[in-house]
Amino acid sequence: MIARKNLPIALTIASSDSGGGAGVQADLKTFAALGVHGASAIACLTAQNPKRVFAVEPCPPKILRQQIEAVFAELPPQSVKTGMLFSAANLRVVVEFFGAQTARPRVPLVVDPVMVSTSGATLLAPAARKILMEKLLPLAALVTPNLDEAEILAEQKIREPEDLRSAARKIFSRFGCAVLVKGGHLNDTREAVDIFWDGHTELLLSAPFVKGVSTHGTGCTYSAAICAGLALGCDLPQAVELGKNFITAAIAGSYKIGAHFALNQSSVTPGRHWRAGSGR
């Protein structure tokens, strides 16, 4: 009899990207590249390309809940990530499902808050922001804000690398979950610097900027790689380091699609051991 490999499962609850570079499409490519089976629950349909978001149509809350329930019924994941949820109704679905911990084993939840896109588009309805901060983040194992999102969550400006550290501590103190503040868009820096803080361990993760490349979907891919690392059995600091190395390699290996660049998740070898530069 042929021995079949038993793959771990990770679930992404996020939005579809019609351009294929971000959202659920990026998450599933990342899971596959890391040797994890990807399940998905579509929270929104979007009309977008690498340049901008044209329209967003939230999924009805009932079918979003049914997608999540269907996955947990037969494909219970080892880890879950959320991406763009957009509406208050969809935030409530996720909060209600993962808040009912007595009915199912607790799985680590990685929350990519997706409040503001790199291009500046608002991707979280105003009524949903309060639910995200008061209800969802306290359920998270990790939140992964970009600079704009971290400024909102920490209620401070971030202008230099040291600000990343203070913002991470404020976010952890305010919401009680570990945080990875992504500083890739800081001005006047030679490296993409991120700070992880979980109340005990601090990681300073840095990588040289890849010149001449502007990519779409880096935040989705980064958080998905962390989620995959958790499904593979990494602890949270290890999963974050894996994610940093994965996104760095995917950017370095990016390729052209039309007039744009796309991340190359398939350029990363599954099972390879990575280690980012870190300070504790």
Confidence of residue 118 (pLDDT cuts 50, 70, 90): low
pLDDT for the residue 121:
62
Binning pLDDT at 50, 70 and 90, where does residue 270 land? Answer: low
Residue 274 confidence (pLDDT): 44
Distance between CA 53 and CA 247 in Å, rounded?
22
CA nearest to 135, candidates 82, 61, 201, 181 = 82
On the question of pLDDT at 217 being above 60, the answer is yes
Closest CA to 154 of 185, 193, 180, 128: 180
Residue 205: phi and psi, rounded to 5, are -110, 125
Regarding beta strands 178-182 and 142-143, do their DSSP bridges make them parallel or antiparallel, or are they unpaired? parallel
pLDDT at 185: 67
**What pLDDT is stored for residue 273 in this prediction?**
42
Contact 222, 247 (CB under 8 A): yes
Q: Is the pLDDT of residue 280 over 50?
A: no
Q: Which tokens belong to 94? A: 């996720």
Q: How far apart are CA 261 and CA 156, in angstroms?
A: 32
The DSSP bridge pattern shows strands 79-82 and 9-17 to be: parallel
Average pLDDT of the chain is 87
pLDDT digits (tens, 9 = 90+) for 24-52: 999 999 999 999 999 999 999 989 888 88
Residue 276: pLDDT over 50 = no
For 9-267, which CATH superfamily applies?
Ribokinase (3.40.1190.20)
**pTM for this entry:** 0.91
Cβ atoms of 84 and 55 closer than 8 Å: no
Average pLDDT over residues 45-66: 90
Q: Which residues are catalytic?
A: 182, 215, 217-220
Query: Would you give the DSSP letter of residue 56?
Result: E
Average pLDDT over residues 259-263: 72
Cβ-defined contacts of 133-136 (< 8 Å, 24+): 133/175, 135/91, 135/92, 135/95, 135/99, 136/82, 136/91, 136/94, 136/95, 136/111
| Domain segments of the chain as ranges | 9-267
Note the pLDDT of residue 35: 94
